[in-house]
Structure 1
Amino acid sequence: MDDLQGVLKGQKIAYFSMEIGLRSEIPTYAGGLGVLAGDTIRSAADLNVPLVAVTLVSNKGYFRQILDSSGNQIEHTEEWNPARFMTLLAENVSVKIQNRDVKLRAWLYNCKSLTGGCVPIIFLDTDVEGNEWEDRRITDFLYGGDQRYRLKQEIVLGIGGVRMLEVLGFKVRKYHMNEGHSSLLALELLRRNGTDSTKVKDFCIFTTHTPVEAGHDKFDYGLVEDLIQDKNDVDTLRKFGGADRFNTSLFALNLSNYVNGVTKRHSRISNELFPGYKIQAITNGIHSYTWTSPYFRQLYDRYLPGWANEPELLVRIGGIPDNEIWGAHWSAKRALIDEVNRRTGVGMDYETLTIGFARRMTEYKRATLILSDLERLRKVNRRGKIQLIFAGKAHPHDVAGKQIIRDIFKSIETLKEEIKIVFLENYDMDLAARMVSGVDLWLNTPTRPYEASGTSGMKAAHNGVVNFSVLDGWWIEGWIEGVTGWAMGPQPDENLSEEEAKIAELSDLYNKLYYVIVPMYYDRRDEWFKLINNSIGMVAYYFNSHRMMRRYVTHAYL
């Protein structure tokens, strides 16, 4: 308990998230949701926000991605040893699953800030002696298995997490659910408060990240009754979580006094999806220091001392000479190109306009949009050389996502004599940091309105990388055409069909590359410098997790 003594004082906000991204060697994250959770925790530590985080240990990680020469994704387990990074705590709690007592233990990771702040993170683990073999596996794979496996994980996270915090001695004033995965914590709170929903609501905050109906976890009541056999509990879930199927987001909505989406547009869409609920907006941000390359860190330290804990100082980027900003970008670009060539041998060069696309490989992200018309892409390349870097994992069960990777490999093969294109395997936080700082142009092409927020473009902006994106998610708030970057396709309030929107997006994608972006990069470098400056001074200064956390404190936590 020694490691806990310093962090038990006072009341805490308990932040629950199925995944938390802290570093590549701790593979307890799958993508943006987990990385955002990690940034939230880092900013809380920097700002001395009294937070404690709860997640699952994911002993076998998400998965390690191997790609064969045709782009077929092969998934390998990514086993890691929590003992290398964390302290095993002595306390145990148990939860009932199918009337079995499943024991949980906890690992403690202290996220410490240079400001002296510290956020303890509790990693729940069912791989405990005495548990049945299948129960020991519950905390093995992040988002692994079927619905049954997933609901077991949510029982462990929500119910087990509340019990573990209590037994460890934390005094919790609010419970913050990062997505619906942890909503069963509200069931445990109802049990403790005589099913008084008004009382429980006062304790709960819910952040939703999903702008589409299909994205919210739903479980058949047959499965729910099998795993949670207490009739009163199941009746409670039906009452607050939906009569037909148990909807975790609906359960969280009905038992939280403060609910928010993660951009202004996402909140509006969520209000339409769940009419009658008041869903606020707190736009996401990223942890500035973590996602800024060492070259820009040194530059900001020299000219903008204190920027790491006050990212709003980046608004004063105009005081840094352009040649020094370009030098920092050039160093980051060289580091990325060297890594690409080391991994692939493709022979990319430093001079060529380099375009990056890296995120989850799933249909709505549309990684192949830029490859829709190879003849037009060739035309862009004849105007001025371009090279493309892709990265991203498809969920093991996402057949369409895996096909996207194969399609990119086909285009790489088709264009290999003309345009250098690579797909880097096993996308993780380290590779993400290299890419968002090392490319010249960051591409984002989701199908509207499926991007709740997106944060990779914010990371790019911190490194002077210019954004070129569909008007969805956070970019609606960050975009000023030709000033902070470029948009493709219709305005947010234009009501076009998906097919009409795609035609407009493709037209903008190729035309802006051909007529605006490529000529500016090669022939009007002074204008490109303005975009780099504005990316930092008008985007990065605002879209950071310090600003986001201050909003959570004043709007939700106090």
Structure 2
Amino acid sequence: MAFTFNPYAPAAKYKTAAAYFSMEFAIDQPLKTYSGGLGFLAGSHMRSAFELKQNLVGISVLWSFGYYDQGRNPDQTMRADFRRKYYSFLEDTGLVFPITIHGADVHVKVLYLAPEVFGTVPMFFLTTDIEENDYISRTISHHLYDPDAAARVAQSILLGVGGGRLLDLLGRKTDVYHLNEGHGLPLAFYLYEKHGRDLAEVQKRLVFTTHTPELAGNEERPMKLLTDMTFFGTMPEEDVRRVARIENDALNYTLTALRFARKANAVSKVHGTVANEMWSHYEGTCPIIPITNSQNGLYWRDQQLAAALKSKDDTALLARKRELKKELFKIVADQTGNLFDPDVLTIVWARRFAGYKRADLILRHFERFVALAANASRPIQVIWAGKPYPLDQSAIDLFNKIITSTAHLKNCAVLTGYELGLSAALKKGSDIWLNTPRFPREASGTSGMTAAMNASVNLSIADGWIPEFIRDGENGFVITHSDESLPENVKDDQEATALLDVLENKVLPLYYEQPKNFLKVVKTAMKDVEPAFESGRMAREYYELLYKV
């Protein structure tokens, strides 16, 4: 039977037909098609768009081996394992079609995730890992963020051109194409060809979300590689250079997307300022507005904690929080052999492992940290978790350094396997959610939102979404960041001192000596984080501020 696409009737206010292209989606624990925050954000968006009955579809790639499975070597250091994934809950649409990569046909198979499976908008996953393709073509959809440059370009063509062609084959009239980051940029050139090489027609339909002020996160490739790989379809290189305003021998995905889009958004107010400073001086770029990232409450919040907050039952809230800490500590014991105490203040640093996020900032003044950790009257427990990019050796070295430097401390643990399930356990089982990026390099940082939903208090550098949320001492704690003009090592020293000062002089006294006041901070954060940082607000703003002409 032929595949019929007719999922649900959209709500009247969301009839504009939109398609959301993302290289990764964190939808649910069984579906391993994500690496970190970009995927977590996209997954929450798909859930909230479904709850609002928006006329939106999600388009991505089905990664045969996922990102990677994080395991341990015999000495407890990190190991990246790659295992093929199979998903019985994805429906074979029967759709197989060719796209052109490196001048040759590559066949794309389409699988469908129905809304009722995980509570998302309809989603389509593209794969080249099928018998119709040769081995090299099959590997295009093997690994999320393949380290090989040509493979990465091919993956972008698969997402952008494959997704564009899919929508046409489905016969779905699409009013708005939404690129989540620049990975799917070939879509812009596909639309350019489709609409008679009229840039204005593309700009009517294309919108773009930029996520990172990190240069490494704004992909750039040599024009020769892109041309050789058929990144621009049938467009001659001279036309590409003219329309995309290429002035050298490389194409920047973000800058090009900003020139082909009608409007773009940054992912927090701070990031909006940074993104405009980075890009708006270039000729031909579209406006960049802030739409702050957020997370889906229905998926992330613990129902019993939320019910206790609503009923103003402090006893029930504290009892449930203690249960959740004990559940997390079972994972700690299983992985590390350390037995943690649910009555001890528990600090968690957990997110994608990257150098600028500074997982080890709390350890920078190590002797002071050890003295603080050894204080019997005000004890602490600290947990780290996160996935480095598998070829980012400096990030892997940092992960392993934290393991070895804290191995002798019974109140410290480094966990492996940072996916949706562990992420949820860490947020629900922590008292303090630690966030220590170098300002202003954290565009948004949504993990603290879901922590706050689950009675975990943010202790953070005022970067990303934090300035929009935290009122210091009322619903969280701010670590003062240093003058941006200082050398990084000086800033790291100063901010490590500021972190330990806040912990020692504010957080610990409140937790142990004024527990009712600490609970007040917890409850205020739980109340403040929703609806402002719940993804229903974000999904509505996309329609109202980004999709609306």
User: What is the distance in 1 between the residues matched to 2:134 and 2:484?
Assistant: 55
Q: CA deviation at 1:499?
A: 3.8
Q: Deviations over 1:175-197 (max 9, x none)?
A: 00000001111100000111111
Q: CA deviation at 1:213?
A: 2.8
Are 1:33 and 2:42 counterparts? no
Are 1:180 and 2:174 counterparts? no
Are 1:235 and 2:256 counterparts? no
Contact persistence 1:241–1:248 (CA under 8 A): no
Give the structure-2-normalised TM-score.
Answer: 0.93
- Find the residue that maps to 1:354 and give its secondary structure: strand
Q: Deviations over 1:534-558 (max 9, x none)?
A: 1111223311101111111111122
User: What is the distance in 1 between the residues matched to 2:110 and 2:457?
Assistant: 42
Are 1:190 and 2:184 counterparts? no
Q: Deviations over 1:114-142 (max 9, x none)?
A: 9xx86110100112322121001111111
One of 464, 468, 471 as aligned partner of 1:480: 471
One of 392, 412, 430 as aligned partner of 1:439: 430
Q: Summarize the alignment of residues 244-393 of structure 1 with structure 2, pairs less than 5 Å apart.
A: 244=248, 245-276=250-281, 277=285, 278-299=287-308, 303=310, 320-381=312-373, 382=375, 384-393=378-387
Moved more, 513-522 or 69-78: 69-78
Q: CA deviation at 1:515?
A: 1.4
User: What is the distance in 2 between the residues matched to 1:159 and 1:8?
Assistant: 27
One of 133, 138, 159 as aligned partner of 1:131: 133
Q: CA deviation at 1:438?
A: 0.6
Q: CA deviation at 1:294?
A: 4.2
Q: CA deviation at 1:481?
A: 0.8
Contact persistence 2:206–2:260 (CA under 8 A): yes
User: What is the distance in 1 between the residues matched to 2:308 and 2:28?
Assistant: 24
AA aligned opposite 2:143: F
User: What is the distance in 1 between the residues matched to 2:178 and 2:187?
Assistant: 10
AA aligned opposite 2:362: I
CA 1:235/1:90 → structure 2, altered by over 3 Å: closer, same or farther? farther
AA aligned opposite 2:221: F
Contact persistence 1:17–1:37 (CA under 8 A): yes
AA aligned opposite 1:228: T
Aligned to 1:501: 491
Q: Deviations over 1:407-445 (max 9, x none)?
A: 1012212x42xx511111111100000001111100011
Are 1:540 and 2:530 counterparts? yes
Name structure 2 gaps, 5 residues minimum: none
Contact persistence 2:164–2:190 (CA under 8 A): yes
Contact persistence 1:461–1:540 (CA under 8 A): no
Q: CA deviation at 1:169?
A: 2.2
User: What is the distance in 2 between the residues matched to 1:509 and 1:299?
Assistant: 31
Name structure 1 gaps, 5 residues minimum: 304-318
Aligned to 2:116: 112
AA aligned opposite 1:431: L
Aligned to 1:5: 6
AA aligned opposite 2:347: I
Give the structure-1-normalised TM-score.
Answer: 0.92
Q: CA deviation at 1:337?
A: 1.3
Are 1:80 and 2:85 counterparts? yes
Contact persistence 2:18–2:177 (CA under 8 A): yes
RMSD: 2.0
User: What is the distance in 2 between the residues matched to 1:482 and 1:29?
Assistant: 34
CA 1:91/1:241 → structure 2, altered by over 3 Å: closer, same or farther? farther
CA 1:55/1:11 → structure 2, altered by over 3 Å: closer, same or farther? same
Aligned to 2:458: 467
CA 1:271/1:214 → structure 2, altered by over 3 Å: closer, same or farther? same
Q: CA deviation at 1:339?
A: 2.3
- Find the residue that maps to 1:336 and give its secondary structure: helix
User: What is the distance in 1 between the residues matched to 2:27 and 2:511?
Assistant: 35
Q: Summarize the alignment of residues 155-166 of structure 1 with structure 2, pairs less than 5 Å apart.
A: 155-166=157-168
How many residues are paired up? 534
Q: Deviations over 1:192-250 (max 9, x none)?
A: 11111111101011000011333211111121121118662433443316332111111
Contact persistence 1:295–1:331 (CA under 8 A): no
Q: CA deviation at 1:72?
A: 3.2
User: What is the distance in 1 between the residues matched to 2:3 and 2:153?
Assistant: 33
Q: Which contiguous aligned blocks of 4+ residues in structure 1 show a shift greater than 6 angstroms?
A: none
Q: CA deviation at 1:2?
A: 5.2
One of 403, 421, 429 as aligned partner of 1:409: 403
One of 528, 539, 546 as aligned partner of 1:549: 539
Q: Deviations over 1:458-495 (max 9, x none)?
A: 0100011101011111111111110111111237x875
Aligned to 1:306: none
User: What is the distance in 1 between the residues matched to 2:302 and 2:126?
Assistant: 32
AA aligned opposite 1:213: L
AA aligned opposite 2:393: V
Aligned to 2:419: 428
Contact persistence 1:62–1:144 (CA under 8 A): no
Aligned to 2:19: 14
Q: CA deviation at 1:326?
A: 1.5
User: What is the distance in 1 between the residues matched to 2:398 and 2:7?
Assistant: 48
CA 1:494/1:232 → structure 2, altered by over 3 Å: closer, same or farther? closer
CA 1:282/1:509 → structure 2, altered by over 3 Å: closer, same or farther? same
Q: CA deviation at 1:6?
A: 3.1
Q: Deviations over 1:13-34 (max 9, x none)?
A: 0000000111121110000001
Moved more, 431-440 or 372-381: 372-381
Aligned to 1:307: none
Q: CA deviation at 1:105?
A: 1.0
User: What is the distance in 2 between the residues matched to 1:56 and 1:547?
Assistant: 27
User: What is the distance in 1 between the residues matched to 2:307 and 2:239?
Assistant: 55
Aligned to 1:103: 107
User: What is the distance in 2 between the residues matched to 1:249 and 1:235?
Assistant: 20
Percent identity for Structure 1 against Structure 2: 33
- Find the residue that maps to 2:356 and give its secondary structure: helix
Contact persistence 1:63–1:75 (CA under 8 A): yes
AA aligned opposite 1:289: L
User: What is the distance in 2 between the residues matched to 1:325 and 1:74?
Assistant: 38
